[in-house]
Structure 1
Amino acid sequence: MKISRKMKRAATGCLAAALLCTGIINNVSAFNLGSVLGGVAKVGGISWLVTQYGDKINSAINSVMMKEGAGTNYATKVVPIVSLGNKQYIGAAQVIGPSKQVEKVKAVGQIQIAWNSSLFRINGLIPMDSVNPTSFSRVQGVGVSANIDVKI
């Protein structure tokens, strides 16, 4: 019996949400979301996951930060990370700032720069008003407070 791709996505999304909502994943150490999602969270799946579960992921991050004494009164939101080099969704990020500015953020653009013969690798993270990496404006006054890596 074949399980449709849509059904797999829904099942893994529900599982991830259930884990986040029930507090099973509640410590500061990174968890392996890739193992939970298996092969489902490919490049396009990251955008889908953020759209469906971004609020729950955001709440989980805020709860952990508060528990560790790093809470905030600023607005936060989880958005996809778009690689400005290859135009793919490569993860997610939590942005933080004044609520009017955070509302404008649709994605975080990532620029990777190798410097000094690749001795240093720099990841520039830019809060953007669009998910289109070729046509966006930087949203001023907003920073990135968490980086959510998804193994793809």
Structure 2
Amino acid sequence: MTEKPEDCLLMVWSNQRSRDIEFDRANDLVDGGAISCATNTSASQFQAAIDALRAAARSGDKARMLEQLGLPLLYIDGDGEEVELDDDQVDALYDEVFDARLIDAIERLDLSRMTVVPERGGFFELGSIWLVVDKAGGRPRLVTVNRQALDEAAGAARRKAQDRQGEPVPDL
């Protein structure tokens, strides 16, 4: 990646009607690099998507949550099996995919804890939640839920908490 973040931001802003220049400049750099260079959109667009996802998760409203998805939704179960879900499949498997643990993870999304991968999007919780931009300057959508990664992230968090408390960490 040879682009300078400021150059990427200028390109991204050229594709947006409204801009939050101060927020974008202050929040463009995350793990993996500049949001604008890696994803072709701005930090403020990711923040808007995160806010909408958190609000939908907190509301408990299935329809509101489904509005935040990019379809097909790639779902990776706890055993690593992948399936691309369309509208009907997401609706039928909603309670499995969006269980209490995933909803809790969505409610805790924080832009500063996002990692970006050039041309692939931004992810959270060791890759358990992926947001992808489909239009330059546009708002990201949730496109991947990886249950296997979410389980690994939960295990890592438990081990970290136990380490801080000085308790022995059990073998997994």
TM-score over 0.5 (shorter chain): no
TM-score normalised to the size of structure 2?
A: 0.28
Answer 1 or 2: which has greater helix percent: 2
Which structure: greater strand fraction?
1
Per chain length, whose mean CA-contact separation is higher, i.e. which structure has more relative contact order (CA < 8 Å, sep 6+)? 2
